[in-house]
């Protein structure tokens, strides 16, 4: 078995960038976003300030329009 085959067989705990982007798009509310950001191991930061700022701009800024 080559190294390449081995990599394909083992599930990767880290999603690809596009998969993470899709996961972000599936979030429907600010609270969901915050929870995902704080708890999901695929997210690069679990800093509450970063998460709340990101989620605020993602959701709450849209609602005001």
What are the domain boundaries of the chain? 18-63
pLDDT level of residue 41 (50, 70, 90 thresholds): confident
- C-alpha 1/C-alpha 46 separation (Å) is 37
State the pLDDT at residue 58.
Answer: 82
pLDDT at 11 > cutoff 60: no
Q: What is this structure's pTM?
A: 0.53
Given a contact cutoff of 8 angstroms between Cβ atoms, the answer to whether 37 and 55 are in contact is yes
Mean pLDDT, range 46-65, rounded to an integer: 78
Mean pLDDT, range 20-28, rounded to an integer: 81
Token pair, residue 59, equals: 């959701």
Given a contact cutoff of 8 angstroms between Cβ atoms, the answer to whether 30 and 51 are in contact is no
């Amino acid at each position: 078995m080559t190294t390449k085959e081995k990599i394909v067989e083992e599930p990767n705990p880290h999603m690809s960038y596009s998969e993470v982007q899709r996961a972000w798009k599936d979030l429907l509310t600010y609270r969901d976003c915050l929870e995902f950001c704080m708890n999901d191991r695929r997210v690069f930061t679990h800093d509450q300030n970063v998460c709340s700022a990101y989620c605020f701009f993602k959701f709450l800024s849209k609602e005001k329009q």
